[in-house]
A = this chain, B = another copy of it.
Amino acid sequence: MSGSGYVRIIRMIPPALGNNTADVQRLEQALRKELDTGYVHVPWHLVPELSARLRVWDWQAKVVLFRDRRSLRVVDLLDPADSAPVLGAALDIGTTRMVISLVDLETGETLAETGFDNPQADIGPDVLTRIHHARTPAGRAQLQDLAVTAVNRHLAQLCKENRAAPDRVFLLAGAGNTAMTHLFAGLPAFGIIQEPYIPCTNIPDTLAAQRIGLVMHPEGQVFLFPNIGSYFGGDLLAGILAADLDLKEDPCIMVDVGTNAEIVLGSKDWLMACAGAAGPALESGVSQIGMTAKPGVIDRVAVDPSTRELVIHTIEDQPPVGICGSGMIDLAAALFFTGRIDIRGKLVPDACEGRLKDQDGIPAFVLVDGADSGTGNPICLSQVDLNSLTSAKAAMYTILEVIVAQTAGLAFEDLETFYVAGTFGSFINPKSAISIGMLPDIPVDRFQVLGNTSLKGARQVLTDPDAFDRIMAVKDTITYIELNVNQSFMTLFSGAKFYPHTDRSRFPSVQI
């Protein structure tokens, strides 16, 4: 046998009078032995042609496999000399953006990738509107069709660019939050938002692509990541997989700074997670701050050490048009270091040296004058924006403290690696985030940016046959912590609303 992952060249012992196992079971036995696995399922559509093929191919075959909950399934049998690419597609089912990765299943290589807006946004930009729309069968079908049609179109385009037909895509693995996964698959989603918050399914399992209208190999198989509940989706399981959290010797943490702060903590021995909205304290999540990254957006702010002036960087070095979340964190850190805000996060008029302006009675710091801006208007950070940022950073720190210290009984220093997942997190400068007390004060080199973990996890499912069991094991063993916004939380939260914290000893590296 050669090959790896889900594509293997299998050699069988030819039948003889003393070895009269039937053709199908001969293949099954060879696969079981070579892959050291239990039950192998050869689906019926392959059976009628199997005998002739195995004989023509002299008892060899290139076998495309995939997993479901109980077996290793043969998706197709190919001529061992077939040299056309054997493809898979990894899919990030994002609320706003979807991303497809075209993967060579034989090499594990990513051949191409494309991102596009989730066309369900035409129905509603937010998940709630879409879930309400999906209450009728027609609305549900419409949402599903929008998403699947877009995936089919972009997948076909990726195939074309790689000179392959869509029927060479044998597998697709998709990860998204619970609601998005349900809407993509055409499942009712209303239970997710209505007490007692019950998804239609926790485990979509492997299913035929045709059942949900995906255009790929006619017997192609689709894996949609399971969820652990309405507010703990497959995207987070994909993240755990992408970070290998379930394989770590020492505890690590992964924080997905999205609409909700989703946190997973643990190692190979135990995992705990906390996800979902955390009440009014987190109403303005970190990712809500600032604008979406695009050319001209200020993504980095630094302090010139000699002049103490603020130095901005914009995406693609275009004239500044606004400021995004990572820029905002940098800016807050810079304002704090230069004494322009105090430890309560309030603008200090004396220190702002004429860069303050009044916006309807609220002071605002002018970062870029109208004359230097790409829009003609000044780019400001108002005290209101700052208050939101202060709440958000305090909430993030408090949640981390509750999970790491109070729940797991660990010190932040015990964390071997601090993974930051999600697009937003990718751009955060950990040094700035520590400076304002959003992230704990651990060595900067322990922070690791993971990028799009939904896509990475989905890709892993396509290329690593162990991934399936790992996902199911994580799903069955992870402890879900309901974040309790009680008096104790609010007390911690109040302490965290200072820069960097009321308890300065927690941030020894932050020197001003």
Cβ-based interface call for A125 (8 A): no
Scan residues 300-348 of chain A and give those whose CB is less than 8 A from a CB of chain B: none
**Complexed CA–CA distance, A343 and B16 (Å):** 45
Point out the residues of chain B lying under 8 angstroms from A41, CB to CB: 69-70
Question: Is the pair B20, A200 in contact by a Cβ cutoff of 8 Å?
Answer: no
A229 close to B (CB within 8 Å): yes
Flag if B201 contacts A47 (CB, 8 Å).
Answer: yes
User: Of B24, B50, B200, which one neighbours A47 at CB under 8 angstroms?
Assistant: B200
Q: Contact check: which of B39, B44, B201 meets A25 at CB < 8 Å? A: B201
Q: What is the minimal beta-carbon distance from A32 to any residue of chain B, in angstroms?
A: 13
Q: Which of B23, B201, B202 contacts A201 (CB 8 A)?
A: B23
Min CB gap A187→B, angstroms: 6
Binary contact readout A43-60 vs B (1 if CB under 8 angstroms, 0 otherwise): 011011011100000000
A39 to B68, CA, bound (A): 12
Q: A71 contacts the other chain (Cβ, under 8 Å)?
A: yes
Say whether A211 faces chain B, with CB atoms less than 8 Å apart. Answer: yes
Q: Are the C-beta atoms of B23 and A199 separated by less than 8 Å?
A: yes
In the complex, whether A21 has a CB less than 8 A from a CB of chain B is yes
CA distance A207 to B45 in the complex (A): 10
The interface bits of chain A over 214-248 (1 if a CB of B lies within 8 angstroms of the residue's CB, else 0) are: 00000000000001011000000000000000000
Chain B residues with CB below 8 A from A207, complex form: 44
Across-interface contacts of A70 in B (CB, < 8 A): 39, 41, 70-71
- A186 part of interface (Cβ distance < 8 Å): yes
Taken residue by residue from 197 to 214, chain A's Cβ proximity to chain B (1 for < 8 Å, 0 otherwise) reads as 111111111011001100
Binds B, one of A188-196, A409-417, A431-439: A188-196
The complex is assembled from copies of this chain, and their number is: 2
Task: Report if A200-B39 is in contact (Cβ < 8 Å); known contacts: A20-B229, A191-B23, A211-B45.
Answer: no
How far apart are the CA atoms of A22 and B140 in the complex, in Å? Answer: 19
Asked whether any CB of chain B lies closer than 8 Å to the CB of A17, the reply is yes
Contacts of A22 in B (CB 8 A): 198-203, 227
Whether a CB of chain B sits under 8 angstroms from the CB of A495 is no
Q: Are A200 and B15 in contact (CB under 8 A)?
A: no
Given contacts A15-B198, A16-B196, A41-B70, contact A191 B24 (CB under 8 A): no
Residues on the B chain within 8 Å of A203, using CB: 22, 24-25
Give the chain B neighbours of A208 by CB distance below 8 A: 44
- B202 and A51 contacting across the interface, CB-CB below 8 Å: no
Chain B residues with Cβ below 8 Å from A16 are: 196
Contact string against B for A residues 22-43, beta-carbon threshold 8 Å, 1 for contact and 0 otherwise: 1111000000000000010100
Task: Flag if B20 contacts A196 (CB, 8 Å).
Answer: yes
Chain B, Cβ-Cβ closest to A24:
B201
Q: Which residues of B contact A45 (CB under 8 A)?
A: 211
Task: Tell me the complex Cα distance, A47–B23, Å.
Answer: 34
Give A275 Cβ to nearest chain B Cβ, in Å: 14
Question: Are the CB atoms of A52 and B188 closer together than 8 Å?
Answer: yes
Residues of B within 8 A of A44 (CB): 204-205, 207-208, 211-212
Q: Which of A22, A44, A188 has the most CB of B within 10 A?
A: A22
Tell me if A24 and B229 are in contact (CB < 8 A): no
Q: Could you say which residues of chain B place their CB within 8 Å of the CB of A51?
A: 187-188, 191, 198, 200
Residue of B nearest to A202 (CB): B22
Contact in complex: A195, B17 (CB < 8 Å): yes
Question: When chains A and B are docked, how far (Å) is the Cα of A378 from the Cα of B131?
Answer: 86
Query: How far, in whole Å, are A51 and B186 apart by their CA atoms in the complex?
Result: 12
Chain B residues lying within 8 Å of A200, measured Cβ to Cβ, are 22-24, 47-48, 50-51
Residues in B neighbouring A39, C-beta threshold 8 A: 69-70
Across-interface contacts of A195 in B (CB, < 8 A): 17
Pairs across A and B, CB under 8 Å, 26 listed: A17-B196, A20-B196, A20-B198, A21-B202, A22-B198, A22-B199, A22-B202, A23-B191, A23-B198, A23-B199, A23-B201, A24-B200, A25-B202, A41-B69, A41-B70, A44-B207, A44-B211, A44-B212, A45-B211, A48-B140, A48-B200, A51-B187, A51-B188, A51-B191, A51-B198, A52-B188
6 tightest A-B CB contacts, nearest first: A24-B201, A22-B202, A22-B199, A44-B207, A17-B196, A70-B70
Given A17-B196, A21-B198, A23-B199, 4 new contacts (CB under 8 A): A15-B198, A17-B195, A24-B203, A44-B205
